[in-house]
Structure 1
Amino acid sequence: MELVKDAGIVDAISKVAPGGGLRSGLDRILQARMGALLILGDSPEVLSICSGGFLVDAEFSPQRLYELAKMDGAIVLSSDGIRLARANVHLVPDPRLPTTETGTRHRTAERVARTVDVPVVAVSEELGVITVYRRNQKRQLQPIVEVWARANQALSTLERYKERLERVLKRLSELERSSKATFRDVVLVLQRAELVRRISEEINWYLIELGADGRMLSLQLDELYLDIRGDYDSVISDFLGPCSEDDTLEVRTYLASLDTDDLLDVSVVSEGVAKRARCTELVTALSDDPRDRLKLKLESRGERVLSLVPRLPQSVKEAILERFSNLSALSSVSEFELSKVEGVGPEWAKVIKEFISEN
């Protein structure tokens, strides 16, 4: 999945996800209604804010973590979590650093994470929850049962969103072959594709929290999200381009920045997309009435259609796209003329022409 949150907090959450020894140790602490403060890293920067405590330097095990948590102070582990470095440590981060927490343990955890770039984990004795900190981000982990319930609900939502996306994609495909696709048809596809991406990203977060327990959910997500990213990029490149990877990313980043209300507003999306398009017709139509701009007919370059041709080499596809300006030109060209394009030849020309005529 793309556009997931900060990689640091993702890495931190994955280290305490179910299926690993660290999570087993944390679960023992929760079950005993105890609190704990853990630092995953024993670098000189970490040790510089440590005071007191004692050296452990022992192999990690959930049982040992649980026993050490019975003492006051923080527990310092190696960055990979396979060794217990120190215990009963007093942490002294800069007290001037801002924090939104109120409890002593959590205030310390947040300040340590802002001071040193390492994962910090706080277990609340009173609330019985685990909170993970990394740099300026934090995430409170929900009970696995709740995460599963939300993940399954999100997966059902993704199925509905994907069905709607497939409907507008099918309509766009029918229209582009007859050169009747409008800017509105393209915008509808981009809206649906962005909604699918967002719900997929949400599920990806649940997968991170579920760890090894989320393997089956991961397979379901991969099956549902398969080829969606390719369709997303191809529609942008086909109708708003020709686009480079940076141009495509700019459009997707813009759509990702919109709140839900704006994303569902066709006029807002169409104006923002038109400003970022490389298509001459759209650039020219920027000053037009939004309703007229949405009616503007756009020619497809044919990238998405060519991407559907089984086993067609990327080099052949690029050569065809460079030679023919749009799908209409490609559809009307003879098989002989197509075969003359560098790298195509008679065999691929026949396959491509048959595919276009049948689809």
Structure 2
Amino acid sequence: MIEALAAVAPGRPLRAGLDRILQASKGALIVVGDGPEVLDICSGGFLLDAEFSPQRLYELAKMDGAIILAPDASRIARANVHLVPNPNLATTETGTRHRTAERVARAVAVPVIAVSEDLAVITVYRGGHKRALDPVARVLGRANQALQTLERYRNRLDAVTSSLSALEVEDLVTTKDAVTVLQRAEMVSRIADEVEGYIVELGTDGRLVHLQLEELMGGVDDDRRHVIRDYVVDGDPGAAEGALRALASLSTERLLDLGAVAGILHLPAGGDVDASLVPRGYRLLAKVPRLQEAAIDTLTARFGNLQKLMRATVEDLEAVDGIDGTTARIVKDGLARLTESSILDSYS
């Protein structure tokens, strides 16, 4: 459905043609795909194989039959076609054009677009899903509202993340501290997914929304991944990726449950949310400028936890295979600065 909505977003030629049909108070039934499975349910009409243009789509919509487009909507394959999908396929629609559109979308894996002549509404069908396209102003309003919510949640995430950094430096992290950061990060990510859906619908009108979303989401995904690698009981990257997928699959109600999120990391759950944890150091090392991910993996594997890394001297770091003198000094200086800033932030 996301791909189908992108094809009819403002700024795309197909959307321009659909808007022309709406402005003329006409109706249309359009199938975006001309593969064998589509042709099997086509009857009559005539072959065009003409280059697509909004003007041609509008003119062809004056006829009663359906219009068949190429999968990328670059060409008009057929016009005035009678579609004959399986009449036994379930449909919730009442109008003839929309019943046909829903049945075709269920029968073949292509987007089907119905333009209602009476209601002046464009409806996109794909599989068992349908979406009525809202006016750009309404979608933009919802997108801006979602961005405001995202900004508030991002501010809260930054606060708990800063707190976690200070606690890690002082070796005072508990299960609740780590899980709270993961909860906030996942909430922010889910709001961002909603905004991305609006951006798809907005097409070229969503450029500014896209820029704001990128700014607000900077570093969130990496931070979430590093927190999981710091605290998941099995430090293997595969276990961390599995925990990320499990976190994303939680319902909203389960996400708000500290025990459910702690269980994903195999951490003490239930009433033991104050159990002490020791980070491996992935997240703070990732904040050190110019430090490669391979070096981070090497150092965390060698020292095991953040406290040992912080106590290590430059000579200790240099003794690790793959870590040269320059990298060792970068790590030592970077951790020192992070330690100082984290402590200052915690008391500010």
Indicate yes or no: 2:307 matched with 1:328.
yes
Indicate yes or no: 2:135 matched with 1:143.
yes
> Offset at 1:351?
1.2
Kept in 1: contact 2:106–2:127 (CA 8 A): yes
Distance 1:10 1:325, change over 3 A: same
| Structure 2 CA distance for aligned equivalents of residues 128 and 248 of structure 1 | 49
Kept in 2: contact 1:251–1:273 (CA 8 A): no
**Match 2:329 to one of 341, 344, 350:** 350
Q: How does the TM-score come out when normalised to structure 2?
A: 0.93
> Offset at 1:118?
1.2
Amino acid at match of 1:309: V
Partner SS for 1:294: coil
Q: How does the TM-score come out when normalised to structure 1?
A: 0.90
| Structure 2 CA distance for aligned equivalents of residues 25 and 120 of structure 1 | 15
Indicate yes or no: 2:275 matched with 1:296.
yes
| Structure 2 CA distance for aligned equivalents of residues 252 and 100 of structure 1 | 37
Partner SS for 1:164: helix
Kept in 1: contact 2:175–2:262 (CA 8 A): no
| Structure 2 CA distance for aligned equivalents of residues 331 and 249 of structure 1 | 27
Question: Structure 2: which 5+ residue stretches go unaligned?
Answer: 339-348
> Offset at 1:246?
4.2
Select between 111-120 and 175-184 the one with higher mean Cα deviation.
Answer: 111-120
> Offset at 1:120?
0.9
Indicate yes or no: 2:150 matched with 1:162.
no
Distance 1:121 1:246, change over 3 A: farther
**Match 2:48 to one of 44, 53, 56:** 56
Who is 1:83 aligned against?
Answer: 75
> Offset at 1:248?
3.0
Kept in 1: contact 2:255–2:261 (CA 8 A): no
> Offset at 1:206?
0.5
Indicate yes or no: 2:42 matched with 1:11.
no
Who is 1:6 aligned against?
Answer: none
Kept in 2: contact 1:158–1:199 (CA 8 A): yes
Kept in 2: contact 1:179–1:328 (CA 8 A): yes
**Match 1:133 to one of 121, 125, 135:** 125
Indicate yes or no: 2:198 matched with 1:210.
no
| Structure 2 CA distance for aligned equivalents of residues 212 and 338 of structure 1 | 50
Who is 2:64 aligned against?
Answer: 72
Kept in 2: contact 1:172–1:186 (CA 8 A): yes
Partner SS for 2:34: coil
**Match 1:173 to one of 160, 165, 172:** 165
Partner SS for 1:70: coil
Identity %: 52
Partner SS for 2:117: coil
| Structure 1 CA distance for aligned equivalents of residues 134 and 165 of structure 2 | 42
Who is 2:225 aligned against?
Answer: 233
**Match 1:271 to one of 252, 259, 262:** 259
RMSD: 1.5
Who is 1:312 aligned against?
Answer: 291
> Offset at 1:216?
1.8
> Offset at 1:322?
0.9
Amino acid at match of 2:261: V
| Structure 2 CA distance for aligned equivalents of residues 243 and 133 of structure 1 | 44
Distance 1:272 1:263, change over 3 A: closer
Partner SS for 2:88: coil
Kept in 2: contact 1:75–1:88 (CA 8 A): yes
Partner SS for 1:165: helix
Kept in 1: contact 2:21–2:61 (CA 8 A): yes
**Match 1:340 to one of 282, 301, 319:** 319
Indicate yes or no: 2:31 matched with 1:43.
no
Who is 1:200 aligned against?
Answer: 192
Amino acid at match of 1:101: E
